[in-house]
Amino acid sequence: MLGSWALWIALPIHVYQLTRSALATSGVIAAVVAPGVLIGSVAGVFVDRWNRKTTLVAGNLLLAAATLPLIAARDESSLWIVYPTAFLLSTLEQFTDPAENAFLPRLVRAEDLVAANSLNALNNSLARLGGPALGGALYASLGLAGAVTADAVSFAVAAVLLALVHASGAVEAAGHATAAAVRRWRRVWVEWRDGLEVVRRERAVAIVFVVTALTAVGEGVFGVMFVVWVRDVLEGGARELGWLHTSQAAGGLVGGAVGAYVGRRIVPERLFGLGLLVFGVCDLALFYYPLLLGGVAIGMGLMILVGIPGVSTQAAKTTILQTHVQDAYRGRVFGSLSTSASLLMLIATTAAGAAGAVVGPIALLTFQGGAYVAAGIFVLLTLAPRAVRAAPSRAAEPA
């Protein structure tokens, strides 16, 4: 994560410096987002076929190798290398990300899952604090090649560390052979459909998907309008925007520690609902405070508060899916969740960009905060809390 944050800070800067084109720079973002929409759900089918540990080791080695061609993008004539490379990197991550979430329940006891997911999410907050600064420093001193090399090395080290994990990554049998009798070219479609059937059949999983859809739309709006809010409402610039994002990452560090502590004391369903509710309330307070008080310091404090429930909410959501989905289907469920969230965020981002010229940033951001409040209330009313249990299974987990 640290290496990736460093690269994705340096790469857009590099593209913009070579082209002076916002369109060329946005193409990098599109190349990263597109694989999640196009193949994220289907990738989960193969994650449920392959050994998860092998997928993670091989995936990180491939990511290390696939990053290196970016070194050749030295001038505008070789800039075409960036787009297929970014697309390939994001495609590989459609396999490694769900494999990680599906593999984690093999490493800890069921009652420790919330704590484990909280600490795992804390990694991202650490990377968000250090990665952008590392990427900027490497690009300033060594150019794009420095950030690319650091990212490739980080993937290679990750592959070695994953290879040292002793737990089995073998996928547990689904207990039936739905696709065994069909022709080989149709098996991907049948297995993908079986994964969607799990979402429909398992009530808790369906609720998570509904809530994720609602909050993904809000996050799409936030991605566009937060910059406008900082500029027009807070009357700030790039410096203030950076301070606010860093503050949220700092709150994420606290949230990871808090989630690890309360994970054994609050069941994940209740933690999920409370986290969404608190997140939404803090967001609304952030968006409206400049109407009463001035200065960026209050905003930074509120962003720290936003970061705390943000990490706990993510950990609780992941735990709910891990404990309500049979091992054989986890890759497909996590892949489908990523695809639906990416698609809705993309739609919401486009809509917010069009509506931003007519509707003010506070009004649109109110929808984002209100979406989290509504989602939290919905979860608390519909998702009955219960103790963490092992995922439903017809066979014992492999040793």
- Which pair of tokens denotes residue 271? 């933690």
pLDDT at site 260: 75
Q: What phi and psi values does residue 192 have, to the nearest 5 degrees? A: -60, -45
Q: How far is C-alpha 132 from the chain's CA centre? A: 17
pLDDT at site 178: 47
Averages of pLDDT over runs of 10 residues in the chain (399 residues) are 84 81 72 84 88 95 96 89 94 93 89 84 79 80 91 96 91 56 58 77 90 88 79 75 78 80 82 93 92 86 88 88 87 85 81 75 89 94 66 42
Q: How far is C-alpha 102 from the chain's CA centre? A: 15
Contact 83, 31 (CB under 8 A): yes
The CATH architecture annotation of domain 193-382 reads Up-down Bundle (1.20)
Q: List the chain domain ranges.
A: 2-111+135-167, 193-382
pLDDT at site 381: 93
Cα angle 92-317-128, degrees, rounded to a multiple of 5 = 55
pLDDT at site 28: 79
Residue type, 207: I
pLDDT at site 183: 53
pLDDT at site 170: 87
pLDDT at site 175: 47
Instruction: In whole angstroms, give the CA distance from residue 246 to residue 252.
Output: 10
- CA proximity to 63, closest of 20, 98, 103, 94: 94
pLDDT at site 328: 84
